[in-house]
Structure 1
Amino acid sequence: MDSSTPNYALASNKKKAIYSLKGILQGVVADTALNTMEALYLNTWLLDSKPLRNDPDAIDLLDSISDALADGKFTAEELEDLSALITDIIEFRSYEDVTASDYLNEFLGLINGIVSDDQINADEFSYLHEWLNKHIDLVDDATVRGVATKMVEFSALKQATPSDEEALLSFLKQTAGIRFLETGAADAHPMDHIADSIESMNHERAAMCFTGVFNTGTRKEVEAIAIKLGATPRKDPSKSIHYVVIGSQVSPDWKHTSFGRKIQKAIELRESGHPLIILTEQEWVRFI
């Protein structure tokens, strides 16, 4: 055990990982047809998930995948066997003391599993739609509400074009922060489903709020960069703010950190119609 990490934090991290895995497992078999890319994503995610190193189900999954990959590839029979194991875990694993946060972790895991192969088909769309209908009480959450709204808009299309389908896929990938096909990494940046993507940025006379820990420098150093480019740093998000920039060193549990309230405030302002742009540090440094 990591002696530097409090027991309550270890328990919290494990619970989060368990519900993320629950969602991922549902996602990769949502269309009842597990494919190689989905299996590879699951393998990568499990190998990266330290809180589940001793979890019996995680061990069984890794053993099954390792055996299948002994010859370097999955056969159709091996994928069917792995899919059956996943289905059994989904059906028989018990979950206790479920909170709204647990369901949100499951939700993001579900999206990760669905789009891990860089596509979403009709069966997967229907599965996600049914999951949302079963958890309608979660729509107060900005992330869930955003996905639900996008799915309603997509369903309303008389005939979805390839461009419409690509836009939906991109939205879901951004929401979950997954870029597995592009990077080979299963982990998601905690801010990817919140931050905006922009084509250009003008610092001149822009009011900016910097929050979090930055790779570029200290808070004062990044603010100095913005000032040099003509911007005015502000302490907190408000209606007069144009940009909120979030440092790269963000914990997955950012909502529970000291700067989480600033991010939540920025999200609320943006949702209320204020033209505020939320940027990750990586996005911001493109324009300095």
Structure 2
Amino acid sequence: MVDLHQEFENSRFYHQARIDRRSADALLGIAAGLTADNTINQREAEFLKNWIEQHLAHLDDPVINLLYRRLANMLSDGILDADESTELLEILQQFTGAPSNSPRPFTAPTTLPLNDPAPALDWPDRVYLFTGAMAYGPRKECEALVLDRGGLIGGSVSKKVHFLVVGSVGNEQWLHSSYGTKIKKAVEIREAGGGIAIVSEEHWQRAVFG
């Protein structure tokens, strides 16, 4: 008698990688759909978290695991507040490679436009802004480290911002990664003679922790 259960198991393992690839591609499509209107609400965030749990939670993938951890953290209190919604939107836009208000398709950059040499970071009355996914943790925790040292947090990229810190997670890992709008605007200000500096998270962490 044919062992149909064993045959199914063999087939399942044989095709598991292809199934996972389809699920990852589906996640990319879902993320693109959720960010199409440049907003992420509570219902959408909860849907995305549940979808990952059902389809991709078993994957040992650093990008998907990071996305899931950030979602779980944001929804841990049952509320997606305005700051979390903004951060989640930016993370998903990086994931899909489609920053908001982009008139042209984006391609992955080969390097980030970081200041070279990297400037010394100081804190009192210096305005910091974060973009991208931070390896250290949620953006609020990164901002708290700046505030604890006497620094300030900017609301958007402008000439008043001294340092734009680019999160290290995703620079090499995000699928179809691309420069975000914050980095683009910061480059424009810098090239026009503004005082903003674009620095890596690694450089920022060294300044924070020594």
TM-score, scaled to structure 1: 0.34
The structure with more helix, counted as a fraction of residues: 1
